[in-house]
Amino acid sequence: MSETPEQGPDVPEAGASAIEIRDLHKYFGRNEVLRGIDFHVEPGEVVCVIGPSGSGKSTLLRCVNLLEEPTSGTVRVAGVEITDPEVDIDAVRRRIGMVFQAFNLFPHLTALGNVTIAQRKVLRRGRAEAERTARQVLERVGLADKLASYPAQLSGGQQQRVAIARALAMGPRVMLFDEPTSALDPELVGDVLGVMRELAEEGMTMLVVTHEMSFAREVADRVVFMDDGVVVEEGPPGQVIADPRHERTRTFLSRVLDPAAARVGEAGEGGG
Ligand SMILES: Nc1ncnc2c1ncn2[C@@H]1O[C@H](COP(=O)(O)OP(=O)(O)OP(=O)(O)O)[C@@H](O)[C@H]1O
């Protein structure tokens, strides 16, 4: 399924796409969930993936950091073919930050502890350096005053910001977000989207699966609409969301846009 890499699997290619997905297929048993996905994300780009439930969006993201093994096709991150069986999976994961719907924080550790331990385990950083970085990234997501708080003492939005900080602390080249606001009460969505918007403005490369059409419309450079395991269309949000070319995109948007529009107002207020 993979080509022989021209360079060692861990040598990034200058000028390479941040993410390049080619003819990606994924089966679960006989169920073909991804049916030949092709697209790329350039350095500094924000690409939002939208589409109906069950269309394969999460599976796609999970294939990009090898939480799922693609059945065939290639995925390159910064020019490194991560689907190469020879590749060091830990090295791959270090270059890709992932934020899920569920925050998955250790309940017995503080915000600082959660962000510190991830670096110590994954990057084997010393405590002092890991804590220094943890303070910086927690400050960056607006939680400087919550370093000593345990997850149970934080709102869902604050917990998700700790999860974002934990991913940022690894110094990733790319951040993947899988519906990061879906588990949040509506009034907390804006804070998390606000942090994501700031990251986008700072030039972070981001691939975001989201139902938040306001975020896709206002922050994404490109929107990818997936349905039934294929990319139906992609382009700037002004085209895909405002003026879709395909009937399937129009049908999906007509179902989601009204309720999403109601949430946009709330999200936008906190979204700075
Ligand atoms: N581990 C798995 N084993 C078997 N089938 C799976 C597995 N993970 C996902 N699927 C199936 O793959 C299909 C796509 O699921 P996926 O979660 O990728 O869709 P999605 O577009 O992210 O949906 P949603 O918007 O509801 O999260 C679904 O039919 C799902 O049941």
The ipTM, to two decimals, is 0.97
pLDDT digits (tens, 9 = 90+) for 154-175: 999 999 999 999 999 999 989 9
Residue 225 CA to residue 174 CA, distance in Å, equals 20
Q: Relative to the CA of 179, which ligand 1 atom is closest? A: 27
At 48-93, the pLDDT tens digits run 999 999 999 999 999 998 899 999 999 998 888 888 888 888 887 7
Q: Which of 261, 252, 192 is nearest to 226 (CA)?
A: 252
Ligand 1 contact, 27 CB (< 6 A): no
Nearest CA to ligand 1 atom 9: 59
Q: Is 56 left (phi over 0), alpha (psi -120 to 50) or beta?
A: left
Percent over 90 (pLDDT), the chain:
73
Which residue CA neighbors atom 1 of ligand 1 most closely?
Answer: 28
> Which atom of ligand 1 sits closest to the CA of residue 59?
18
- Of 30, 48, 58, the residue with max ligand 1 atoms within 8 A of its CB, to mutate for a pocket test, comes to 58
Give pTM, 2 decimals: 0.88
pLDDT at position 1 over 60: no
> Rounded mean pLDDT of 105-112?
97
211 DSSP 8-state letter: S
210 lines ligand 1 (CB under 6 A): no
List alpha helices for the chain, DSSP H: 57-64, 89-94, 111-122, 127-140, 156-168, 186-201, 213-219, 237-240, 247-270
Ligand 1 centroid distance, CA of 34 (Å)? 10
Q: How far apart are CA 208 and CA 80, in angstroms?
A: 21
Q: What is each CA distance from 78 to 11, 18, 82, 222, 266, in whole angstroms?
A: 9, 5, 10, 19, 36
Number of the ligand 1 atom closest to the C-alpha atom of 62: 18
d(CA 227, CA 56): 8
Give 58 Cα–ligand 1 centroid separation in angstroms: 7
Give the residue, by CA position, lying nearest to ligand 1 atom 4: 28
- Using DSSP's 3-state secondary structure scheme, residue 193 falls into helix
